Homo-oligomer: A and B are copies of this chain.
């Protein structure tokens, strides 16, 4: 039996990723978001949503670029901090001890300590309501050698990312393999 919970932002899982951008003075800013997801395969694109009140909103609107930095578990306290505070009056990356690296492909910084980073150029902006959605074309993905397997492919087990759960607002790790995709469903026919 299903119970109605009302109109809410409830989805499992949502990511916890850090958006990198430059402000008008060229200072690197970073903000954690959970309202994000891949939205196109060709060109490869990712969508992120920001409130107009955030410092990142103005930065990305001006520079038309951002990075998506996927953290590993040991970065969780820094990620949480970057989601609670504003870059308006603070160099948040300096506070938490993370290193912005200037991208040569887009007008935004990525974060050195993060194992996986996506460099994006804004190609669509949609005003939705409290949040504005920025769709970025992913022009490159960069990964730390340490999260690549012997074939040079990224491994979720090595990257140790985590997810955000909108119900209890906590971060959870990645669990065990449940099934092989494009494989387990073949049993049905």
Chain A: number of interface residues, binned into ranges: 35 or more
Indicate if the CB atoms of B118 and A10 lie closer than 8 Å. yes
One of B7, B17, B36, B130 near A141 (C-beta < 8 A): B7
- Whether A19 sits at the interface, judged by CB under 8 Å, is no
Indicate if the CB atoms of B40 and A84 lie closer than 8 Å. no
Could you tell me the distance between the alpha carbons of A156 and B36 in the complex, rounded to whole angstroms?
A: 19
Indicate if the CB atoms of A44 and B8 lie closer than 8 Å. yes
Report A154-188 CB contacts with B as 1/0, cut-off 8 Å. 11100101111111111111111111111111111
- By a beta-carbon cutoff of 8 Å, the part of chain A in contact with chain B is 1-15, 17, 34-47, 49, 51, 68, 70, 73, 76-84, 95-96, 116-118, 123-124, 126, 128-131, 133, 135, 137-145, 148, 152-156, 159, 161-189
